[in-house]
Amino acid sequence: MSGVEAVRQEALTDDLGSRRIEVHDLNAWFGSLQALRDVAVVAEPQAVTSIIGPSGCGKSTLIRCINRMHEEVLGARVSGKVLFDGQDIYAPDVDPVEVRRRIGMVFQRANPFPTMSVLDNAVAGLKMVGRLSRGELRRRSEQALRQAGLWDEVKDRLDEPGGKLSGGQQQRLCIARALAVEPEVLLMDEPASALDPASTLRIEELIQDLKTQFTVVLVTHNMQQAARVADWTLFMLYGQVVEFGPTRKIFTSPDDKRTEDYITGRFG
Amino acid sequence: MLETRKRFHDELAALQAEVMAEGQLAERALGRSIEALVRKDKDLADRVIAEDDEVDDKYMDVERRVIDLLAMQTPVAGDLRLVSAIMHINMHLERVGDMAVNISKIAKATRELPTDPTVLSHVEEMADIARSMLLTSVDAFARRDLEAALALPRMDDPIDHLNRGMYREVVGLARDPRLLEWGVQMNMVARQLERVGDNAVDIGEQVAFLLTGEFREFTDASHPPSP
C-alpha cells in the first residue's frame, strides 16, 4: 500500500474526514518551468502534515496550489485535482476567495500591518470578508488572539501598532489574523524560520494546539521541527513526491534512499 | 557533502571501529580467562582482570562520543539506527569483559581444588561456542550481515543445553566436598558463559535493527520455543 493509500485507509474511520485535503496528479508550472510533477498527497484533519525537501523542490508551490494562490503569479498554471471536503477546489464554480478563507495561510516572514493596532490586525482579514459590528470584531479579535496564544501578552496593549511587537509575537499575530476568518485548514510556510529558538518553540507548541481543530500543513526547512511536530511527513525532490508516510517512519527508517540521504545530510 | 556532516560520518565510522576493537579485546579476555581456569594460571587470571580496564576505557570513550553525537548532530534514519546499535553493542561488549573478569576471579579461587574432566570439558565447549558467537556477532555488525546475525540464536542452543546439564553434573560431584566446591564454582562459570551467548544474540538483534529498521527479539526467555 502506498503512503497516500495508507493515510486514506486510516481516514475512512475518521469523523472529521470532511476537512481532509486530497491532492491527485497535481502538476504546476511557472510559464514553461514545471514546478510540480504528478504530486499526490493527503493531509488529514487533526494532524500536522509536514513537507520537507531542498530549496526549489516545490514545497511552497504545493501549498500555494492547495489554497489557489499559485495561480495569482503571472504565467502560472495548474492541472490535476485538489479535493477539500470531497470537492475539487479547481472546479469552475468554486470561488477562490472562499477557498482561501477556508484554507488559510501563514507565511515565513511575519507581515502584520505595521501601523495598524494589534486588535485591528487580528481582524484585518475578517473585515474584508463582511461587515461586522465593532463589538463583534472585538470579540472575534480576542478569540483569534487567544487561539494564537498571544492574548495574555498583548491584552494590555491592544491599541499599540502591530509593528511594535517582537518577531515571535508578530508571527503569532499573523496566525491570529489567519484564524479570525475561521478557516478549516491552516497552511504554514516556514512559520518559524525567522524566529529565535524560544519563539520557535512557542510556534511549535501552538501548532500542536491548533491541530486539534484544524488540518495543518507545514512547510519547513528545519527537519527536527518536522520530526517534533508533524504526524505525517512528505519528502519532495525536483517537484515530485519521493516519500510520504508517518513522521516516525520517515525519520527512523525511510523506504527511499533519497529520503535517507537528504535527512541524514548526505546531500541538499 | 558539507564538511561538518562529513566529520559526523567520519566519527560514526571511527566509533564503529572502536566498538569492533572492543569486541576483539572482550573475546581475547574471555579466551584467556578460560585458559587461566583450565591451566590454573594465577598470573594469566590477574592479567585478564587488569586488562579489563582497557575494555572499560573503550566503553566509556564510545559512550561519551555517542552522547556528543546525539546532542550535536541529531542523527536520523540509518545514522540514528547505527548510533543506537553502537551504543547497545558497546554496552554488551563491556559486560562480556566483566564476565571474563568474573571467570578469572573464579579461576584464582579454584586453583587449589581438584577438578572433574567431564565438567571441565563441557565448560571449555561452552566457552568455544560463546567466543565463536561473540566473533560472529561483531563480524555481522562490521559486514552488515543479516544472515549471520539471524544465525546467532541457533548457535546459542548448545550453550543453553550444556548450561542446563551443568547443574546435574555438579550434583554428581557431591561425593567429595572439595570437588563439589569446585563444581559449584564451575556452575557459576557456565552461567557466565551462557550470559556471553545471550549478549552475542542481543548484538545480533542490534545488527538486524540496523539493517531492517525493525525492532524484534530473536528469542523470548518468557516464552521459550517448544522443544
Q: Which candidate in A249, A253, A255 is best for mutational testing of the B interface (most B CBs within 10 A)?
A: A253
Query: Any residues with CB less than 8 A from the CB of B40 and at least 6 apart, and which?
Result: B107, B110, B111
Taking a contact as any Cβ pair under 8 Å apart, which residues of chain A between 72 and 101 contact chain B? none
DSSP 3-state of A233: strand
Query: Looking at per-residue confidence, does B132 or A11 come out higher?
Result: B132
Mark which residues 183-242 of A lie under 8 Å from B by CB. 223-224, 227
Kindly tell me if the per-residue pLDDT of B227 is higher than 50: no
Sign of CA dihedral A32, A37, A40, A43: negative
pLDDT of residue A163: 94
Q: What is the pLDDT of residue A5?
A: 57
Counting the structural domains of chain A, the total is 1
Flag whether pLDDT at B225 surpasses 60: no
Does residue A53 surpass a pLDDT of 80? yes
User: Which pLDDT score is estimated for A76?
Assistant: 96
pLDDT in tens, A92-108: 999 999 999 999 999 98
- Span B180-204, mean pLDDT? 97
Domains of chain B plus CATH, in order, are 3-212 (1.20.58.220)
Which position has the grid cell 511587537?
A165
* CA atoms lying within 13 Å on the CB side of residue B79: 23
- Mean pLDDT, chain B, as a whole number? 94
Q: What residues in A contact B81, CB-CB < 8 Å?
A: 252-253
The reply to whether A22 falls in a domain is: yes
User: What is the nearest CA distance from A228 to chain B, expressed in angstroms?
Assistant: 12
The closest of A65, A17, A36 to A189, measured between CA atoms, is A65
* A146 in a structural domain: no
In which band, very low, low, confident or very high, does the pLDDT at B223 lie, cut at 50, 70 and 90? Answer: low
Nearest of A207, A181, A190 to residue A111 by alpha carbon: A190
The C-alpha of A109 sits at a distance from chain B's nearest C-alpha, in angstroms, of 26
At A207 the pLDDT is: 94
Q: A28 — contact with chain B (CB < 8 Å)?
A: no
Q: Is residue A19 part of a domain?
A: yes
Residue A148 placed within a domain = no
Burial class (CB within 10 angstroms; exposed 0-12, middle 13-18, buried 19+) of B121:
exposed
Flag whether A176 is in a domain: no
CB pairs under 8 A between A and B: 37
pLDDT band at A13 (very low <50, low <70, confident <90, very high): very low
A123 lies in a domain? Answer: no
Task: Tell me if residue A149 falls in helix, strand or coil.
Answer: coil
From chain A, pick out residues whose CB is under 8 angstroms from the CB of B78.
Answer: 253, 260, 264
pLDDT given at position B115 = 96
Interface test with A, best of B6, B76, B210 (most A CBs within 10 A): B76
Q: What is the secondary structure of A94-117 as a DSSP string?
A: --HHHHHHHEEEE-SS----TTSB
Place of cell 555438579: B170
* Burial (Cβ within 10 Å: 0-12, 13-18, ≥19) of residue A94: middle
Q: How far is the C-alpha of B21 from the C-alpha of B51, rounded, in Å?
A: 14
CB contact under 8 A, A259 and B76: no
The per-residue pLDDT for A145 is 95
pLDDT in tens, B139-149: 999 999 999 99
Q: What is the CATH number of the domain that holds A232?
A: 3.40.50.300
d(CA A61, CA A102): 18
Over the Cα atoms of chain A, what is R_g? 18
Q: Which residue of A has its CA nearest to B80?
A: A252
pLDDT of B216: 83
- d(CA A250, nearest CA chain B) in Å: 7
In this structure, are strands A103-106 and A185-189 parallel, antiparallel, or unpaired? parallel
ipTM of this predicted structure: 0.70
Mean pLDDT, range B135-159, rounded to an integer: 96
Distance between CA atoms of residues B128 and B150, nearest Å: 19
Place of cell 527508517: A253
User: Which range among A196-205, B148-157, B199-208 shows the weakest confidence by mean pLDDT?
Assistant: A196-205
pLDDT digits (tens, 9 = 90+) for B27-68: 999 999 999 999 999 999 999 999 999 999 999 999 999 999
**Nearest by CB: B5 against A250, A259, A265:** A265
What is the Cα–Cα distance from B152 to B139, expressed in whole angstroms? 12
Q: Which amino acid is at B163?
A: N
Are A264 and B77 an interchain contact pair (Cβ–Cβ within 8 Å)?
yes
pTM of the model: 0.80
**Is pLDDT of A138 > 80?**
yes
pLDDT for position A260: 94
Per the CB < 8 Å rule, is A223 touching B76? Answer: yes
- Is the per-residue pLDDT at A1 higher than 80? no
Does A266 contact chain B (CB < 8 Å)? yes
- Cβ(A113)–Cβ(A61) under 8 Å? no
Does residue A240 lie in a domain region? Answer: yes
Total count of residues recorded for chain B = 227
Per-residue pLDDT at A4: 56
Amino acid at B53: D
- pLDDT, residue A194, reads 84
Which chain A residues have a beta carbon less than 8 Å from that of B9?
Answer: 266
pLDDT of residue B72: 85
Dump pLDDT digits (tens) for A167-213: 999 999 999 999 999 899 999 999 998 888 888 998 999 999 999 99
Q: Which domain holds residue A202?
A: 3-110+186-263
Tally of CA atoms within 13 A in the half-sphere of A72 that contains its CB: 10
In this structure, is residue A56 part of a structural domain?
yes
pLDDT value at residue B217? 84
What is the average per-residue pLDDT within B72-88? Answer: 94
Q: How many alpha carbons fall within 13 Å on the CB side of residue A6?
A: 10
pLDDT over threshold 60, residue A224: yes
